[in-house]
Structure 1
């Protein structure tokens, strides 16, 4: 019985790892040419996903690479007013530590036997128990798991749902080696997350474990084609930074200094989600996990849900050896309920961030009562 996992993201790799621990063979097909073919993004807040890493037998290794100090947070308004500062004691429990996505992915990859991940296999279609790839090759399967992210091609086998834009457009920037190049800005950002929330605009700066600070400037209640009308020349990094500073007119100079100090990589990212509570009729030969199944606003739940999806699907398959239909039904029932709750909570936070008084509402969220 052949289990084929399309996508070597966190969820797909967690599934492969749990199956490996239960002596169940699986193959992961990944479109990228190698593990280092592209950057893997920034830091992740791993909380509920720690259960998945325990099931995968990797929790100690996870704690070794996690950054407890990444739980630090500072919340400010555009005029420079500090609303909240939380500094994590060195002996605090690792309840919501930050971890570099690339490090976590490497941990999962290194836990798998050689050859489980087949690089350079871009999924094209599946029918009659045969996967077909962009290079013309094919492979058999009995169970196909779509772990291929927001723009999943496997998803079409189960549902016509597609991601839709939610009115948020983000410009991502980066300051490399910030402690050496800009020590004043490094001290301002601190060890964890630094948020400035204005009306319809936010700036989030996040310390990464490799010495970078990643910056995301979010423009809320904007249309999907906003990047084409914003006047940001993405092919000219210096001019793009200047335009972004213009768009933050009236903001404290310390915040716009972060933009001025950024590297020449300026990345536009339109934010999309799948419908909250998405389900589909169960099919014994195919299922989905992670963003392919339940793409949510980027407020801290997506990676955790993907890890849990992978681990719990693996446990269901181990509990029903040879009966993929029963395992998939059990997994999907639990996954639909769990991720619908997470998606609703994520949508509430997203609505908060898009509100005119986002800073005060977020402060109340973190300090209720």
Structure 2
């Protein structure tokens, strides 16, 4: 892309996809500014752990020049997966080999810090909450932030998540609730303070499902575990019923009633948590989500294709989206050509993956899961490796 005059490119949202886009742009000598409402990269809890797939997230990090740094921070042992019935029967206990690198785990916060620190100082303007985007002639846009700052840009990239303020410029779609809500529970110093939880979760993740419910837990770094208590329920049942989540004991009692009859070894994920529960209703953008090409604006990550956590595609696709958009901007003569080329690849990929709602419904279906319902995790890792080889050979 010609550098004179340099295009004014703004990324809204300093999540993995937005930061990856900025990093790859800068590696190709293209200026970019990222705006985010957080006060800093570590201003709030970033959530749990991510498995970065060889055929998507890792490709983006390689293009960003950060793959070795990622592997230094990642936990390959975190690929372990244990699946159980609600009665405690083990359906599968997958343990990765020492050399397994198809989908290592990394904490969301560590990934964000890695990406943010790779950028030229001052690239991310923290403490900027976007309040409006006003289209101007010739495809430019005026950004207005809650702190009074305004900026005119040639390209605005919506990397601002599920409730994107950029999305309405191209699409009337809004997220819909899946009918499933997670209540998150936290366990600190798990190896010493919560040995039963540590044993249950192991080095990776544990899933126990049945009767439209689930108990899911994942190992994070530094002896942290996050559990997700899954219910097919209204998105905000506790608040709607006047039973706030700040009343931890009352919520715990309600959950124990809901999970009556489940194996006692699993119920520690309800009874032993540190601190209150956190409401995590699951929303999706029904797939396929597409939009007509709109000069001066595009979307990536959850703003473009919000999915359930099943399959782990959300963050991986966001990283690959950001990488591919940046490469398109570096390789094409105009912004319009670049965005058109990017959307021509990204939209079909997201449509093919779907929103994950059907898989979530199946996982949390009636009765009990059996061994036939368990994925082949070794085959899954091989598929990531083959996908990576095919991607790089294009």
TM-score band w.r.t. shorter chain:
over 0.9
Aligned residue in 2 for 1:298: 309
* Candidates 73, 80, 95, aligned match of 1:65: 73
Query: Displacement, 1:229?
Result: 5.7
SS at match of 1:244: helix
Residue in 1 aligned with 2:208?
Answer: 196
Q: Which residue of 1 aligns with 2:47?
A: 41
Following the alignment from structure 1 to structure 2, what is the Cα–Cα distance between the partners of residues 152 and 216? 25
CA spacing shift, 1:230–1:96, aligned 2, 3 Å: farther
List runs of 5+ in structure 2 lacking aligned partners.
Answer: 1-6, 380-394
State how far apart, in whole Å, the 1-side matches of 2:128 and 2:263 are: 48
Match of 1:363 in 2: 373
Q: State the distance in 1 between where 2:276 and 2:116 align.
A: 27
Taking the TM superposition and a 5 Å limit, the aligned residue runs for 1:1-369 are 1-47=7-53, 48-90=56-98, 92-127=99-134, 128=136, 129-220=141-232, 222-228=233-239, 233-299=244-310, 300-321=312-333, 323-343=334-354, 346-357=356-367, 359-360=369-370, 363-366=373-376
The whole-number CA distance in structure 2 between the counterparts of 1:362 and 1:159 is 40
Whether contact under 8 Å (2:161, 2:301) holds in the other structure is: yes
User: For 1:5, what is the secondary structure of its paired residue?
Assistant: strand
Deviation by residue 1:170-190 (Cα, 9 ceiling, x = unmatched) = 100011110010223212220
Report if the CA contact (8 A) 2:82-2:94 is conserved.
yes
Q: CA RMSD in A?
A: 1.7
**CA–CA separation in structure 2 for the residues paired with 1:331 and 1:7:** 19
- Residue pair 1:72, 1:88 contacting (<8 A) in 2 also: yes
In the TM superposition, what is the alpha-carbon distance from 1:45 to its structure 2 partner? 1.2
1:137 Cα deviation (Å)? 1.4
Structure 1 distance, partners of 2:372, 2:179, is: 19
**Structure 1 stretches lacking a partner, 5+ long:** none
Distance 2:74 2:368 in 1: 29
TM-score (norm 2): 0.89
Mapped partners of 2:330, 2:193: distance in 1: 51
Q: How many residues align?
A: 364
Contact 2:210 2:364 (C-alpha < 8 Å) held by counterparts:
no
SS at 1:173 equivalent: strand
Instruction: Please name the residue that 2:383 is paired with.
Output: none
